[in-house]
């Protein structure tokens, strides 16, 4: 009786280990096949993000240049003009 119980538990552990190993093997195999496709997709996304960041940087530089020009010409900075309080 005890031997049968121990044998059943050992068999369950062995089968679950084999199933886990098979799943891991299949995931690794699928990841290797998908990695080539995903790498090109990720590369395209990174290129798009880089282009957007470059555009934002261009806008920031333009705003900074405009603010510097205003300061040199003596134009008041935003928020410094106030209406007289009665």
Residue 50 lies in a domain: yes
CA distance 5 to 2: 5
Residue 81, token pair as written in the block: 């003009």
Q: Is residue 7 one of the residues assigned to a domain?
A: no
Query: How large is the average pLDDT for residues 1-18?
Result: 87
- With respect to residue 38, please indicate whether it lies within any of the assigned structural domains: yes
Q: Say what the pLDDT of residue 52 is.
A: 94
State residue 56's pLDDT score.
Answer: 92
- The answer as to whether 29 is a domain residue is yes
Residue 14: inside a domain, yes or no? Answer: no
Does 81 map to a domain? no
Residue 76 lies inside a defined structural domain of this protein: no
Q: Give the per-residue pLDDT at 72.
A: 87
pLDDT of residue 70: 87
pLDDT digits (tens, 9 = 90+) for 41-71: 888 888 999 999 999 999 999 999 988 888 8
**Residue numbers of the domain that contains 30:** 22-71
- What average pLDDT does this structure show over 22-46? 82
Q: How many domains does the chain have?
A: 1
Q: Is residue 1 a part of any domain in this protein?
A: no
Distance CA 66, CA 27 (A): 55
Is the distance from CB of 77 to CB of 71 less than 8 angstroms?
A: yes
Q: How far apart are the first and last CA of the chain?
A: 100
């Amino acid at each position: 009786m005890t031997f049968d119980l121990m044998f059943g538990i050992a068999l369950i552990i062995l089968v679950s280990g084999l199933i886990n190993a098979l799943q891991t093997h299949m995931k690794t195999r699928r990841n290797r096949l998908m990695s080539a496709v995903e790498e090109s997709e990720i590369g395209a996304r990174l290129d798009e993000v880089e282009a957007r960041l470059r555009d934002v940087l261009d806008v920031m530089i333009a705003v900074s240049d405009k603010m510097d020009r205003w300061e040199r010409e003596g134009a008041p900075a935003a928020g410094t003009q106030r209406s007289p309080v009665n």
